[in-house]
Copies of this chain bind each other. A is one copy, B any other.
Amino acid sequence: MPVKLTAPAANALLPVPGVQLGFAQAHVRKPNRKDVLVITLPVGARVAGVFTQNRFCAAPVVLCKTFLAENAGIRALLVNTGCANAGTGELGLNLAQQTCDALASLLNIRANQVLPFSTGVILEPLPADKVIAGLPAAIANLQEDNWLNAAEAIMTTDIVAKGTSRQILLDGKTVTITGISKGSGMIHPNMATMLGYIATDAAVSQSALENIIHFAVNKSFNCITVDGDTSTNDSLIVMATNLAGNAELCEGCPEFALLREAITDVAIELAQAIVRDGEGATKFMTVTVEGGKSEQECRKVAYAIAHSPLIKTAFFASDPNLGRILAAIGYAGIDDLDVNTLQLYLGDILVAENGGRAASYLEEQGAAVMQESDILVRVVLNRGSENITIWTCDFSYDYVKINADYRS
């Protein structure tokens, strides 16, 4: 079950002026579930995206990158679940293009104004005919107050729909930011989560929006892992409709940081929600590595901990078998690491220093922290001033069950 995560109330996801969302049950893979989502944007909206670095990136990712580069003015997004359209070669590109053509025709826009997204099983051809057959129903229910339905329409093994909103004042105008995401397994984004969509009505320049998306993704979706598998389909899109009435923000503008912080905050909440709803998760772990020589070496240590099946199963068992964390620090790949000068904390408890167990550490203390559902693992390297924080979850029977049964 998700760790301290519930679906947002429908009225908690605030409409973003200019952004309409419509869904359909198109039976892409399974009946009786929302599996197609259409998002429309007004003329003049700005869109930025970051995508998976997996070399086997999916056909829709290839098209998204192409269409964004063509800069034709994105007017719609089309998402399907049930099939990832990845590992599908030339045929996959053709099928994704067909869905864009169909939506463009129905909306009276051009195909390269439609960004396509798919998530689901890899290596199977996209049933484009089913997606296309679902489009009229999705278009028929397009409305601004449809974010929760949209969050539900993009779920796969997710248990809980994920979304959040913020409002800030820019230039005296109220600006809304609403985002949704999906993802539960194959989560180790190296650009973005499987799918994330954040919209705002703020007026913001294209280069400022690009700045924001890269800043936000590095603080959020690039700091989570469930199982260390980088998906073929990871995509994060940030959209700005320019309808809030504020003066257009540029990177040097006084209020730029306000918008960037608010969007980053939304991105972090959406990214953490993916971990809290990680496949089979029973614990949410924050791994902080401080005092490194570089952010990169902090990241190595943090991910060595976050990816270790031995550590993740110990957390599942609430067993303070903390030597496994020392082992992971030791094999993280810092060649000149001095194990005698680092400290390991579990929550506030000093567990290890001087190369071994801290004299003050009592097993009962570790056991007490391990009972909690939100746990902080903190490593202080004492060799520099860089640090990083990432989020992950434990490894349970249900992870195996979910992934052994996923296609059935």
List A residues at the B interface (Cβ < 8 Å): 53-57, 84, 86-92, 121-125, 185-186, 188, 190, 227-232, 307-310, 313-314, 316-317, 319, 321-324, 326-331, 334-335, 337, 339-340, 352, 354-357, 395-397, 399-401, 403-408
Contacts and interface: CB of A to CB of B under 8 A. Distances in A.
A122 B323 contact: yes
Given A92-B356, A357-B87, A327 B229 contact: yes
Contact of A326 (B56, B90, B335, B357): B56
A54 B331 contact: yes
A193 to B, nearest CB: 14
**Oligomeric state, in number of copies?**
2
Report which residue of A90, A121, A188, A326 has the largest number of chain B beta carbons within 10 angstroms of its beta carbon.
Answer: A326
SS of A interface (majority): loop
A335 B57 CA distance: 12
Contact of A232 (B87, B321, B330, B404): B330
Contacts of A406: 314, 319, 321
Contacts of A317: 403-405
Nearest to A357: B123
A316 B231 contact: no
Given A56-B326, A323-B87, A123 B397 contact: no
A121 B321 contact: yes
Contact of A399 (B188, B313, B314, B356): B313
Given A92-B356, A397-B397, A407 B321 contact: yes
Nearest to A317: B404
A123 B399 CA distance: 28
B122 A324 contact: yes
A84 B322 CA distance: 13
Contacts of A310: 185-186, 227, 229, 403
A340 B88 CA distance: 10
B228 A86 contact: no
Given A53-B331, A329-B56, A324 B229 contact: yes
Contacts of A327: 54, 56, 86-87, 122, 186, 229-232
Contacts of A86: 323, 326-327
Contacts of A323: 84, 86-87, 121-124, 232
A407 B319 contact: yes
A57 B326 contact: no
Given A122-B323, A124-B357, A322-B123, A313 B404 contact: yes
